[in-house]
Amino acid sequence: PDGALTGVLLQETMEATHRDLITLLGPQGENWAWGKVRGTDLQHLAGFEGFGQMGLPSSGNLRAVNAIRRNHGPSWR
């Protein structure tokens, strides 16, 4: 798309994301933490119920050194 349309799309996307975060985390403040939006699920290797940890807060992003996803990261290598 041309530059003007790209700017409009970017603005609309940012506003929609902001609304989604307010719905998920409430008003902007201390509750806004990356780990609450993008946690990690650690399941027990044998699949035992109650021995894993779901939604564990994690920092960083997918492009960071030792990046971690919801179900895969450095400790799984």
Q: What is the 3-state secondary structure (H, E, C) of the chain?
A: CCHHHHHHHHHHHHHHHHHHHHHHHCCCCCCCCHHHHCCEEECCCCCCCCCCEEEECCCCCCCCCCCCCCCCCHHHC
Q: Which of 44, 43, 45, 25 is nearest to 33 (CA)?
A: 25
Report residue 12's pLDDT band, with 50, 70 and 90 as the boundaries: very high
pLDDT digits (tens, 9 = 90+) for 18-52: 999 899 889 988 888 777 777 778 888 788 888 88
pLDDT reading at 73 higher than 70 = no
pLDDT reading at 1 higher than 60 = no
**Where are the chain's structural domains?**
1-32, 33-77
Q: What is the pLDDT of residue 36?
A: 74
